[in-house]
Structure formats: structure tokens, C-alpha cells
């Protein structure tokens, strides 16, 4: 039952990607900016969780909540300091700024604490379950449960609360939303806060699953989460979840077939194929560009 | 008439510059540290100018330039180290293979726009790096030994030719077509310009010179590894173009010179270097998004004010 096991591994990995991808897709949906720094928020969240568990001796759930809260604040700060001035700037200027912010966070963290990796503490018992003959670790199960829980909460926020309604309105038409009395700045901040909190949670989960964290770890998962967002259709929340899961499973399959060195290439090849054949993503609709 | 006068001035000045530095190097007045810095500056200028053609002139936001640098570096290293061909042949072959790679990458991806193009080129750059990582023939992750062949003369000749070709391209009919694509692609298309053709041509020329720079780069170090060509390298090149001014050739050259000097002196503090780079990037984008020079050239600062080449609405 090798296949079931690989599938579960792929889904666990994919749910981490999906959590990060949600932040990308929400921010892109509202201000049309690829927030390159999002992968670094994920890294910062992972470190906050690490220090909370080893330094303050917190349990897993308090550490997760602390990391999410701190990342939410961090994400809002990034938006206020770096991106707010760029609302009316060209897309390329915004993209370059995001790249700059991303490098600044990475090397800022290295400057503060050094580049050495840390071993993440193990907070779960190392139990394995048998499912149709496949061995499933308790960790993958927890990851899955937490990710699914967070995604359900997100769906609730976006579709059932006032701020969620405001977010959908701003993403649909920012000027019309402003005319209708929606506080656009506050809505954008809320989007960054929610997206960054999810990235922080993903950081803690990633640390527990892979047991090793380092200051540059945000780059590759960040890019892959972005690929997941594009795959599902950027700006579409269910798309990010599906894209993350598809990417995670695809990567696990490539590794399981014995091409583990090509794993990262697989993600980029998926990206390029989707960009060439259906740039709007699996769930996207085509829209004509106006002059 | 005026244009050819400018050209001869440029030629004489550059030959003079080359002669002086060559005399300084061969007489030993410029120690190896500084002559190596000169070679690095030349390589980075070639990279900056070749990316300037893609981003600054044609307006196609490509952030995978290190991939083409890697192709040139590896191909020329294979030719000199494994097949024992002479260095100039290897340089040109590296450039040609990189141009071919640019053509292959450019035809599908240049249909994309803005952010999507950026991400696709980033992906291609990474794929190229991962391919080299997986080829045992070139040493995989451990890297490949390369002899030191790059001299100031080689670096200078390549630099001179790069600037000459890209300057002439920009001022030609093709260059004006490329600039019209930068200003407004849909309008350019409506005016009957074959936008795909010009975008691919500019991208291929840019890749060719990145490949030449790659050949110089690999023969200036003793070992090349796939990690040298990750997207941090692409961002380095991007910073030259952005800081100098999107659309200004002399701006890209000046930024490459300035930042290479700064990073040479910060060699022992790589974190500080990257923090400075990223801060510069963010601050320039927040307060002067068109870069230090905008679309102006350094020659515009002297002489009569002439009609601008258009600009201002870059990359909308």
C-alpha cells in the first residue's frame, strides 16, 4: 500500500503549500501584487514558533497561535511600510519592491541570528496509524487536521463576516467599494493580516514536519505556494487550496518515482505549462484586456 | 553627421580607456585585486546591458537572466576544459547556445505579460539551474573546475562589442519598434508592429550577451557551481538595471560599476551586502521608481536639449 502512503504524504505537503498559497491569492486578488515577501513571513512564523516552544516552553497550540498573531502584525507592518505608497505605482515597481522586501527580511534575519539551521522540537508523539496497510504518522494527520480547520475558518470569514464581504467587494472593484463607504485601507490590512497569519501557521507546521528550519527556507516553499496559487487561478480562494494539494501530490509522485533531485523542477514545469496553456488557472475565467 | 561624431568619440575614448588600464595592469601599477575588480565590473556591465535590452528597451520583465549566464558559463567551460578548444571559440559558442536557449524560452513565455512573464522567466531560470545540478558530466552540485583564461583584454573586447551592438540596436528601426512595445504593447500591435517578433529578437540578443558574460564569468573563477546561478544572481543583475533607470543604457552601466565596487569591498560581509542591496531596491522603488537616470542617457546631460525618446508611462 505504498500508494496510499505517498498520497497521504503528498496531501500533507500540499496542505502546507495551500496554507501559504491562500495568502498569495488573497493579496493578489485585492491589490494585484505578487507579494514575494510572503514566503519570508512563513519563515519568520516558523522561527517564532521555534523560539516559543524551545525558549518559552509553550505547547504546540499556544505556539501556533502566538506565531499566527505575530505574523499577522508583521504582514500588516510590511504592507503599511513598503506597499502602501505603491498603490498607484506601476506593476513592475510594486513587484521589484516586493522582491526587495523579501531579500531584506531574509538577510535581516541572518544578520540578527546567523544563517545556521535549527532542529525543530518534536511536540507530537511518534505514533503511526495503519490505514489500509499504509503507515501514517500522527504528524501528517495533525497537519492535515490543522490545515483543513484553518481553511474552514477562512471560508467562514470570507463568506459570512462583514470584513469578508468587504474583502470580496474590494477585490471586485476597488473604486466602487470605496464609493460604497468601505474603508479600503483597513480591508487591505485585514487581508494581509489573515494571509500572514495563515503563513505563520504553515511555518510552524512545516518546522514540525521537516524538523529543520533556516533563514532562507521561505524561498522555495514560497515560490511553490505561488505556483499553487497560479495553478488554481490566482485570486480565487478554493483554487489556491486545490492548487496546493495538486502540487504537493505531484511533487511526492515525482520523488516516489525516483527523481527526487528533479522535484523542484517539476513544480516550475507545471507552472510554465499552466501559464502557456491556461494562464488564468484551473478555476479562472478568461478576461479580455482593454486598451 | 552628429551621430557619427558621437560614435568616433565613443570609440576613441574607449580605446584610450583600455590602453591606459592595460598599461597600468602590465606595468604592475594596478595590483591583481583591482584588475580582477575591473574584470568583474566588465562582466557585470555586460550582464546589466543585456538585461537592459530586455527590460529597459523592450519592457519585458524577465527575472531569470542568471539562467542564460549559467548556460554560457557551462557551455564555454565544457568546450575549454573537456574538448580543449581555444577560449575565444568557447566564448562565442557559449553565447550562441545561450541565445538558442533564449529563443526556446522566449517563444512560449513572451506571450505572457507583466507579473506572469516575470514568474515564468524565474521558473525557466530555475529549471536551467536544476538541469545543470542533475548532469553528472559537469560535476552536479559539486561544480566544475575551470582554468583561469579571462583577461582584461577579453573582458574589454566583449564589453565594447556588447555596448556597441545594443546601442546600435536601440537606435535602429528595430530598437524603436521595441521601445514602442515598451510604451504600449496593444497600441504598437495596432500600428502593425510584429510585437512577438521584436520581443523574441530582443530576448535572444540579451541571452546571447548573457552567455558571453557567462563564459567570461566561468573562466574568471576556478570553479563553477549551480548555486552560483540561482535567482539571487538574477536579482543582482536586476538591481543594476532598476537602480540605473529602466530604459537608460548608461544608467545600467553606471549602476553596475557602482554596485560592483561596493560589493567587492563588502565581500567579507555578504549579509550586509544583501541588506544594502535590498534596502537600495526598496528605497529607489518607493521614492524614485524610474531609477536614478530614468530613460535619459548620460550624453543627454551634456550638449543641447533634444527631443526625448518618449517615456514616462513605462510599464503600465
Q: Does residue A175 sit at the B interface (CB-CB below 8 Å)?
A: no
Helix axis angle, B195-218 to B87-109, nearest 10°:
150
The lowest-confidence range among A92-106, A131-145, B65-79, B134-148 is A131-145
How many CB atoms within 10 Å of residue B151?
Answer: 17
- What is the mean predicted confidence (pLDDT) over A129-147? 78
**Quick check: is B126 in a domain?**
yes
Partners of residue A136 on adjacent β-strands: A129
Confirm if A217 and A43 have CB atoms less than 8 A apart. Answer: yes
Answer yes or no: do B108 and A272 touch at CB < 8 A.
Answer: yes
Q: Give residues with Cβ within 8 angstroms of A171, minimum separation 6.
A: A29, A30, A235
* Domain assignment of residue B195, yes or no: yes
Is B18 domain-assigned?
Answer: no
pLDDT category at B30 given cuts 50, 70, 90 is: confident
- The contacts of residue B289 (CB under 8 Å, 6+ apart) are A89, A90, A93
Give the per-residue pLDDT at A166. Answer: 94
**pLDDT per position as a tens digit, B84-117:** 899 999 999 999 999 999 999 999 888 887 778 8
Strands, DSSP E only, in chain A?
Answer: 118-119, 128-131, 134-137, 212-213
pLDDT band at B5 (very low <50, low <70, confident <90, very high): confident
- Inter-residue contact B295 to B246 (CB < 8 Å): yes
Residue A291 confidence (pLDDT): 47
Taking one residue from A and the other from B, the number of pairs with CB-CB distance under 8 angstroms is 120
Reference B98, options B217, B198, B179; nearest CA is B217
Provide residues of B within 8 Å CB-CB of chain A: 61, 63, 108-109, 111-112, 114-116, 118-120, 122-124, 126-127, 130-131, 133-134, 186-187, 231, 235, 238, 242, 246, 271-272, 274-275, 277-282, 285-286, 289, 314-316
Distance from CA of A32 to the nearest CA of B (A): 9
ipTM of the complex: 0.83
Q: What is the pLDDT of residue B309?
A: 47
Given the C-alpha cell 576544459, which residue does it identify? B81
Range of the domain at B175: 30-230
pLDDT at B198: 94
Residue of B108, B119, B263 to mutate, testing the A interface (most A Cβ within 10 Å of its Cβ): B119
pLDDT digits (tens, 9 = 90+) for A69-114: 999 999 999 999 999 888 888 877 888 899 899 999 999 999 998 8
Determine the average pLDDT of the residues in A196-208: 93
Query: How many domains does chain B divide into?
Result: 1
**Rounded to a whole number, what is the distance in angstroms from the first to the last CA of chain A?**
55
- The whole-chain average pLDDT of chain A stands at 87
Report the chain A residue with the minimal C-alpha distance to residue B110: A276
Give the range among A47-56, A281-290, B72-81, B182-191 with minimum mean pLDDT: A281-290
Q: How close does chain B come to A33, measured CA to CA in Å?
A: 8
Can you point out the beta strands (E) in B29-152? 144-145
Mean pLDDT of A148-159: 91
pLDDT for B155: 92
Q: pLDDT at residue A186 above 80?
A: yes
Domains parsed from chain A with CATH numbers: 1-123+131-277 (1.10.3470)
Within a domain: residue B247? no
Structural contact between residues B312 and B289, judged by C-beta atoms closer than 8 angstroms = no
Amino acid at each position: 500500500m505504498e500508494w496510499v502512503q505517498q498520497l497521504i504524504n503528498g496531501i500533507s505537503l500540499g496542505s502546507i503549500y495551500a496554507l501559504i498559497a491562500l495568502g498569495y491569492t488573497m493579496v493578489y486578488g485585492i491589490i494585484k501584487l505578487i507579494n514575494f515577501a510572503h514566503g519570508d513571513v512563513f519563515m519568520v512564523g516558523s522561527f517564532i514558533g521555534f523560539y516559543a516552544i524551545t525558549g518559552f516552553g509553550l505547547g504546540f497550540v499556544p505556539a501556533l497561535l502566538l506565531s499566527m498573531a505575530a505574523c499577522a502584525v508583521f504582514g500588516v507592518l510590511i504592507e503599511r511600510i513598503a506597499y502602501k505608497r505603491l498603490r498607484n505605482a506601476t506593476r513592475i515597481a510594486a513587484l521589484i519592491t516586493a522582491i526587495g522586501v523579501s531579500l531584506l527580511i531574509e538577510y535581516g534575519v541572518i544578520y540578527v541570528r546567523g544563517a545556521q539551521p535549527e532542529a525543530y522540537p518534536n511536540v507530537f508523539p511518534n505514533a503511526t496509524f495503519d490505514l489500509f496497510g499504509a503507515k501514517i504518522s500522527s504528524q501528517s494527520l495533525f497537519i492535515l487536521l490543522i490545515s483543513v480547520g484553518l481553511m474552514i475558518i477562512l471560508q467562514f470569514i470570507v463568506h459570512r463576516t462583514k470584513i469578508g464581504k468587504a474583502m470580496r467587494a474590494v477585490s471586485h472593484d476597488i473604486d466602487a467599494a470605496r464609493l460604497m463607504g468601505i474603508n479600503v485601507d483597513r480591508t487591505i490590512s485585514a487581508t494581509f493580516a489573515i494571509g500572514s497569519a495563515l503563513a505563520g501557521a504553515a511555518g510552524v507546521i512545516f518546522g514540525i514536519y521537516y524538523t529543520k528550519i533556516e533563514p532562507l527556507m521561505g524561498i522555495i516553499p514560497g515560490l511553490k505556494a505561488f505556483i499553487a496559487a497560479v495553478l488554481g487561478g490566482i485570486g480565487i480562494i478554493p483554487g489556491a487550496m486545490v492548487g496546493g494539494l495538486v502540487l504537493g501530490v505531484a511533487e511526492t509522485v515525482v520523488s516516489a518515482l525516483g527523481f527526487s533531485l528533479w522535484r523542484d523542477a517539476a513544480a516550475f514545469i507545471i507552472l510554465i505549462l499552466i501559464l502557456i496553456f491556461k494562464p488564468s488557472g484551473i478555476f479562472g475565467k478568461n478576461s479580455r484586456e482593454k486598451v | 553627421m552628429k551621430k557619427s561624431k558621437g560614435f568616433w568619440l565613443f570609440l576613441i575614448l574607449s580605446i584610450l580607456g583600455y590602453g591606459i588600464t592595460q598599461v597600468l595592469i602590465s606595468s604592475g601599477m594596478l595590483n591583481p585585486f583591482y584588475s580582477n575588480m575591473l574584470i568583474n565590473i566588465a562582466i557585470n556591465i555586460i550582464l546589466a546591458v543585456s538585461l537592459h535590452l530586455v527590460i529597459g528597451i523592450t519592457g519585458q520583465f524577465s527575472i531569470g537572466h542568471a539562467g542564460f549566464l549559467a548556460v554560457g558559463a557551462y557551455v564555454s567551460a565544457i568546450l575549454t576544459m573537456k574538448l580543449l578548444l581555444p577560449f575565444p571559440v568557447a566564448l562565442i559558442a557559449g553565447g550562441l547556445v545561450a541565445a538558442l536557449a533564449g529563443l526556446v524560452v522566449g517563444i512560449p513565455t513572451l506571450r505572457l505579460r507583466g507579473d506572469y512573464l516575470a514568474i515564468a522567466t524565474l521558473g525557466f531560470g530555475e529549471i536551467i539551474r536544476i538541469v545543470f545540478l542533475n548532469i553528472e558530466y559537469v560535476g552536479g552540485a559539486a561544480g566544475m573546475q575551470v582554468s583561469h583564461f579571462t583577461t582584461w583584454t577579453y573582458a574589454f573586447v566583449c564589453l565594447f562589442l556588447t555596448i556597441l551592438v545594443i546601442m546600435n540596436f536601440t537606435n535602429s528601426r528595430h530598437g524603436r519598434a521595441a521601445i514602442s512595445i515598451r510604451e504600449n504593447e496593444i497600441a504598437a500591435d495596432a500600428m502593425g508592429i510584429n510585437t512577438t517578433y521584436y520581443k523574441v529578437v530582443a530576448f535572444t540578443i540579451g541571452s546571447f550577451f548573457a552567455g558571453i558574460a557567462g563564459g567570461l564569468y566561468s573562466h574568471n573563477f576556478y570553479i563553477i557551481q549551480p548555486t552560483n546561478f540561482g535567482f539571487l544572481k538574477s536579482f543582482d543583475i536586476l538591481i543594476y538595471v532598476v537602480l540605473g533607470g529602466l530604459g537608460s543604457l548608461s544608467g545600467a552601466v553606471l549602476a553596475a560599476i557602482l554596485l560592483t565596487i561596493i560589493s567587492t569591498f563588502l565581500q567579507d560581509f555578504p549579509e550586509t551586502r544583501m541588506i544594502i542591496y535590498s534596502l537600495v531596491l526598496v528605497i529607489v522603488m518607493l521614492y524614485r521608481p524610474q531609477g536614478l537616470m530614468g530613460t535619459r542617457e548620460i550624453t543627454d546631460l551634456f550638449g543641447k536639449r533634444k527631443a526625448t525618446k518618449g517615456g514616462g508611462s513605462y510599464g503600465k
